[in-house]
Structure 1
């Protein structure tokens, strides 16, 4: 079994195992297998190509939205142009600020 240990202040805090090993551990413990956690679907990601239009509809400049989300205006521009795919935390922050649902990846 391949286990990665993540430490904080020199003390083990988390153990990370490959998914198949995790499922085997659950099975050995007599527990049911766990389904794959929620993954963003194509429908949830679709409005991302409309990000600049959503931002403009809210009357926000690129600088204002970036500041509210906690990212740089340059990075927001790369997201709007499709050059970068934001992580789940940024998607949630964008959805929150823009008042939309579906980006809860």
Structure 2
């Protein structure tokens, strides 16, 4: 497997390299080689409870994001965001992904 370049809007944004090449790059840069994360360690992180969607307001406030700004970024109306925050509505998969992205809650973007 060679290097894979991922572009956005015609410009290179990411490069995906095989693990051994990544380790060689780290050594060449004078950094310690990275440790592979075991599936057991990933399972521990994955088993941490996810916040409920009714906690969106608390997470949003902790990040200093205005409700209107989050609603605009997620692509919903401020009224619909208020319904999600109050627990009155459950967001669909696309809105969950957008909320996960903007609030930094990775587990919300995965299928339930």
8 Å contact from structure 2 (residues 53, 90) kept in 1? no
1:80 aligned to which of 85, 92, 98: 85
1:61 aligned to which of 66, 74, 78: 66
Give the corresponding residue for 2:45.
Answer: none
Deviations 1:6-58 (A, max 9, x none): xxxxxxxxxxxxxxxxxxxxxxxxxxxxxxxxxxxxx54x4312110000011
Q: What RMSD, in angstroms, separates the aligned Cα atoms of the two structures?
A: 1.2
Give the corresponding residue for 1:93.
Answer: 98
Give secondary structure in 2 for the equivalent of 1:102.
Answer: helix
User: Where in structure 1 do 4 or more consecutive aligned residues deviate above 4 Å?
Assistant: none
Q: TM-score scaled by structure 2?
A: 0.52
C-alpha deviation, 1:92, in angstroms: 0.5
Number of aligned pairs?
62
**Unaligned regions of 5+ residues in structure 1, if any?**
1-42
Q: TM-score scaled by structure 1?
A: 0.55
